[in-house]
């Protein structure tokens, strides 16, 4: 039995407001109804209407807290160096235009897990917790989970829903540009011997392909034991990444950066729940194909577009669905 003396909380960075209630419903039905851990929903700017908040409070949990945060591109990074300008990558040219700046803010948000209260980071109120779980706003908790997912936090810095492989494709090469070079230089400069024998060997041999030879935590559902991050080695590592600007310049995945830190400094860095293979969790709930772009008007952050959607588009959709049911 996991001790409730440890303070635990759940963080969701919400962008897909259209599916948020579904995500929360399944999360509570299949796990959090048993524990009632506090949930802190963050949004970049104002995305969730007061009506929607009331609906979530009335139907799911009236203790859920909502916070609007306002991320900023770090002042030392020039606009021309931002990832969406790297059109020499086919992936950027086709799939990562300027509207996707919010994705880079998201990576910064989840990487800077100990920068409570800083612009675009976890709210200061989360500083009091020992363990934090983050779940994507599109994560689908399909089946009942009986055990307390925080129970592994005493022994493992990170608990993940599933480990995933990273194949060496043109897209994955485009989102890991200079990552190995940065990591290896950091290790050599600071005279660090990685705990992971795989990473240690790769540093000696300068094997940049090691990134595609190890498994990574999925990022969809992650539980972090903050006692493993409240130290100088994490602070120095995080400051180096932020100073280099890899998240904003090269779209470095926050999960890979955290995994590298843990594999470098801890013998047992990650516990794999293996929930994806067991069909307990799916990375994407129905309706996840509606993207939201930070600072671009859409039905969630524009009063006019929201009014049009609620009063015209939504009713027409419902009429169409009823009609289709009748003719079947």
Q: What does the pLDDT look like over 15-50, one tens digit per residue?
A: 999 899 999 999 999 999 999 999 999 999 999 999
Residue 72 in domain: yes
State the CATH number of the domain containing residue 203: 3.90.550.10
Pair 14, 47: CB distance under 8 Å: yes
- Give 301 or 99, the one with higher predicted confidence: 99
Q: What does the pLDDT look like over 303-323, one tens digit per residue?
A: 566 666 667 666 777 777 777
Q: How is 214-279 classified by DSSP, letter by letter?
A: S-EE-SSEEEEEGGGTSSHHHHHHHHHHHHHTHHHHH---HHHHHHHHHHHH-SS-EEE--TTTTT
Residue 215 in domain: yes
Residue 122 in domain: yes
Measured distance CA(115)–CA(124) in Å, rounded: 8
Pair 211, 167: CB distance under 8 Å: no
Q: What does the pLDDT look like over 209-235, one tens digit per residue?
A: 999 999 999 999 999 999 999 999 999
Tell me: pLDDT of 2 over 70.
no
Say which residue the tokens 């440890």 belong to. Answer: 6
- The number of folded domains in the chain is 1
Residue 92 in domain: yes
Measured distance CA(227)–CA(270) in Å, rounded: 14
pLDDT-wise least confident of 55-59, 136-140, 320-324:
320-324
Please state, as a whole number, how many other Cβ atoms lie within 10 Å of the Cβ of residue 287: 12
Backbone conformation region of residue 164, classed left if phi is above 0, alpha if psi is from -120 to 50, else beta: beta
Tell me: pLDDT of 68 over 80.
yes
Q: How is 124-152 classified by DSSP, letter by letter?
A: GGGGG-SEEEEE-TT-EE-S---S-GGGG
Q: Can you give the length of the chain in residues?
A: 328
Residue 19 in domain: yes
- Parent domain of 213: 8-296
- Give 328 or 116, the one with higher predicted confidence: 116
Residue 134 in domain: yes
Residue 2 in domain: no
Helix 179-189 with 197-205: angle, nearest 10 deg: 90
Classify 283 as helix, strand or coil.
Answer: coil
Residue 155 in domain: yes
Q: Which residues, 6+ apart, have CB-to-CB distance to 188 below 8 Å?
A: 203
Burial classification of residue 76, based on how many CB atoms lie within 10 Å of its CB (0-12 exposed, 13-18 middle, 19 or more buried): exposed
Tell me: pLDDT of 301 over 90.
no
């Amino acid at each position: 039995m996991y001790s409730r003396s440890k303070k635990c909380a759940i963080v969701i960075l919400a962008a897909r407001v259209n599916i948020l209630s579904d995500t929360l419903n399944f999360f509570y039905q299949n796990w959090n109804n048993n524990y009632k851990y506090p949930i802190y929903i963050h949004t970049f700017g104002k995305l969730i209407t007061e009506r929607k908040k009331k609906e979530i409070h009335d139907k799911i949990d009236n203790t859920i807290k909502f916070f609007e945060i306002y991320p900023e591109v770090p002042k030392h990074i020039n606009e021309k160096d931002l990832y969406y300008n790297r059109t020499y990558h086919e992936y950027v040219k086709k799939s990562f235009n300027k509207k996707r700046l919010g994705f880079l803010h998201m990576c910064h948000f989840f990487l800077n897990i100990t920068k409570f209260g800083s612009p675009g980071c976890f709210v200061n109120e989360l500083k009091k917790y020992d363990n934090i779980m983050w779940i994507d706003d599109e994560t689908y908790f399909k089946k009942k989970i009986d055990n307390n997912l925080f129970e592994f936090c005493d022994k493992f810095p990170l608990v993940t829903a599933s480990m995933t492989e990273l194949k060496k494709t043109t897209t994955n090469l485009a989102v890991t540009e200079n990552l190995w070079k940065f990591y290896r230089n950091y290790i050599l400069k600071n005279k660090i011997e990685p705990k992971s024998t795989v990473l240690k060997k790769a540093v000696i041999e300068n094997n940049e392909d090691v990134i595609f030879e190890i498994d990574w935590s999925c990022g969809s559902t992650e539980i972090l034991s903050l006692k493993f991050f409240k130290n100088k080695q994490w602070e120095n590592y995080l400051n180096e990444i932020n100073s280099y600007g890899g998240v904003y310049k090269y779209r470095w995945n926050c999960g890979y950066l955290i995994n590298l830190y843990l594999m470098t400094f801890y013998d047992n860095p990650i516990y794999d729940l293996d929930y994806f293979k067991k069909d307990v969790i799916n990375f994407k709930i129905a309706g996840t194909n509606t993207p939201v772009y930070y600072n671009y008007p859409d039905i969630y952050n524009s009063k006019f577009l929201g009014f049009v959607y609620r009063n015209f588009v939504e009713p027409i959709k419902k009429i169409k669905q009823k009609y289709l049911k009748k003719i079947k």
